[in-house]
Amino acid sequence: MYSPLPKSLTIKQSKINGLGLFATENIDQGTNLGMSHVKLGEQIIRTPLGGFINHRGDANCVKVSLHANGTEPPHKRWNLVTIKDINIGDELTLRYTFYHI
């Protein structure tokens, strides 16, 4: 069955801004949580991971760039990867690079 988020994450009220992504279980550093953004032509589209993650200068996640080979034109996508161990209840954060804050 499709789920817009990994089972280790949920969306709830954030102290940073609006809604955010929170860990429902411990997540190890280096975990690939899935696709957060995809670029189709000149447009960048956010998935639920990209749409609900909040900005923080001292982020615990990064976007890792991937290229979808064999597509015309080639599509670029980014996956969300943890750069720190994340504990149950922690909010996942990302340093924004696509948007001005």
Contact 80, 98 (CB under 8 A): no
CATH code of the domain containing 63: 2.170.270.10
Task: Please tell me the predicted confidence (pLDDT) of residue 1.
Answer: 77
Instruction: Give the residue numbers spanning the domain of 61.
Output: 9-94
Task: With respect to residue 101, please indicate whether it lies within any of the assigned structural domains.
Answer: no
Residue length of the chain: 101
Q: Would you state the structure tokens that stand for residue 90, as one six-digit string? A: 């922690």
Please indicate, yes or no, if residue 1 is contained in any of the structural domains: no
Residue-level pLDDT at 75? 74
Q: Is 80 a member of any domain?
A: yes
**Contact assessment for residue 55 and residue 101, using Cβ atoms and an 8 Å cutoff:** yes
In terms of Cα–Cα distance, which of 47, 57, 56, 42 is closest to 80? 47
Answer whether residue 2 is part of any domain.
Answer: no
Residue 3 lies in a domain: no
Is residue 78 included in any domain, yes or no?
Answer: yes
**What is the number of domains present in the chain?**
1
Question: What single-letter DSSP state applies at residue 27?
Answer: B
Question: What is the full per-residue pLDDT of the chain (101 aa) written as tens digits?
Answer: 778 899 999 999 999 999 999 999 999 999 999 999 988 888 889 999 999 999 999 999 999 987 666 656 667 889 999 999 999 999 999 998 765 54
Rg of the chain over CA atoms, in angstroms? 14
pLDDT of residue 101: 46
